[in-house]
Amino acid sequence: MADLDSTPLLSQSRSTDESELPRPAESRLPSLGSTIERCLSEFNLSQFLQALLVSFAWIFDAQQTFITVFTDAQPPPSSPARHGGSSYSSIILEWGLNPEDPILTGLPASSFFMGCLIGGLALSTLADTSLGRKNMLFYSCLVMSLSSFFASFSPNLWVYSCLKFLSGFGRATIVTSALVLATEVVGNRWRGQVGVMGFFCFTFGFLSLPAMAYLNRNSSWRNLYKYTSIPTIFYSVLVKFLVRESPRWLLVRGMKAEAVNTLRCIASISQSSLNLAVSKVSETEESSNDSMDLYSALKALMQRKWASRRILAVMVMGFGIGVVYYGMPLGLGTLSFDLYLSVTFNALSELPSSLLTFILIGKFNRRSAIWVFTIMSGIFSLLSVTEFGKTWMKLEIGFESVSFFCACTAFNIYLLYTTELFPTCVRNSALAMARQAVVLGGAVSPVLVAAGRRQRFWCYGVFGIVIGLSGVFVVLLPETKGRALCDTMEEEEGGKQRIGSDMLA
């Protein structure tokens, strides 16, 4: 699944009906949100193509996130590449690494996730400020693709790990930039449907990996990087020349001429009506920026006891979920099951997880759902490494798939729950911090996977314990189902006191 970035648009909780929009003849100037909604309310082919092209970025993100499942795997004894020659199917064979050494064999994947962590912290505000959504997506894809391409020429483990770090650094904002940009070129009515396009693209990218790796099983691991990075380079060029910048971001930054040009290409509205609508936007709203950046938001969150407790509990949960969400696909090689089919089953788990979240999110309490799915994920993860004979071992891939499905569902609910826990003024930054906690869990998981090659419990056994314990921290958080979203810290404090949801505040 992929992770959210900071944007004022996604934190809006109400759509604006056409009849409620302020008219030009009125003394009060129309708001920025109502102007954009008026222009984009009719969904057309141009908007669909823009959103689809942007969502393709999820495909390449999924490929680079999980590519080490195959390139850094320990091949079975029957693998032709094991017996020497000019090509090796894994870095472990080519560089003579000890598969039971958790530090060296897990270094490249850990470097990738550390790059994601640092890149997320360093680049999280650029899409809202200087670069914009389109340029952030372009540069992120370009950096990830070029570093992955050069990784195919790595002479040793250390260069390879450095390039994996750079790839993760560039990859950090791809999904968030793509999600924000895709949803900002359509009206409120179609925003949810457009967002789902990215989830399906991510699943497709995940599914494409075992197919490509199977076809490349008798060739060098370096080819897999070339097969996935070269199309991403071409995609980056398409983004640069074919994708339009978010009209909302352009108006917020005061670039009315560019916003009008973008809206003219994608909106179903006449030129005269477009010019009139944009010219009436409040200058005060256009020049203001009420959202905090990551660093001022951190200060605001830490200054209030209830807010600091919430963000710390959320980050602990995110770490546990991230260990399993990113670690389970990486650890499939430790199971006694075909690696290509195992990855395929994991990728397919993303689809029912997204559908279940969509169906049940309005019916179940967030706290109960997260607790149930994290506990179930932990139990089935432990079952996958429990040995009760050969018959039981045949079931381990089933246990692993159920555990991964539960982790995916918990991850989906976790992201939605986090957006409801914090007011608008810090919501985007709090969500960015929650996302970094998930990535930090992903950075730890390759070391556990490498240790699991020697003793399987250190992989799926630890996974089960960590996610099970992390889910317990949800008891420190209030229930948000049915609650209206607050805009300020003072509003949130008032609502908290009224419902008595934070017992220790």
Q: How far apart are CA 80 and CA 276, in angstroms?
A: 68
Greater model confidence, 135 or 486: 135
What percent of the chain has a predicted confidence (pLDDT) above 70?
74
Flag whether pLDDT at 222 surpasses 90: yes
- Among 16, 56, 316, 35, CA closest to 189: 16
In this predicted structure, which of 38-52, 92-106, 144-158, 480-494 has the lowest mean pLDDT?
A: 480-494
Hey, which of 95-104, 148-157, 195-204, 267-276 has the most confident mean pLDDT? 148-157
| pLDDT, average across residues 451-469 | 87
Position 24 scores a pLDDT of 43
Q: Three-class SS string for 351-387?
A: HHHHHHHHHHCCCCCHHHHHHHHHHHHHHHHHHCCCC
| pLDDT, average across residues 481-501 | 64
Position 481 scores a pLDDT of 80
Position 425 scores a pLDDT of 64
Q: How far apart are CA 142 and CA 169, in angstroms?
A: 11
Phi-psi region at 96: left, alpha or beta (left = phi > 0; alpha = psi -120 to 50): left
pLDDT band at 92 (very low <50, low <70, confident <90, very high): confident
pLDDT band at 503 (very low <50, low <70, confident <90, very high): very low
What is the tens place of the pLDDT at every residue in 375-434?
Answer: 999 999 998 887 765 666 667 878 888 999 999 989 888 877 887 788 756 666 777 788
Mean pLDDT computed over every residue of the chain: 78
pLDDT band at 497 (very low <50, low <70, confident <90, very high): low
Position 162 scores a pLDDT of 96
Greater model confidence, 183 or 10: 183
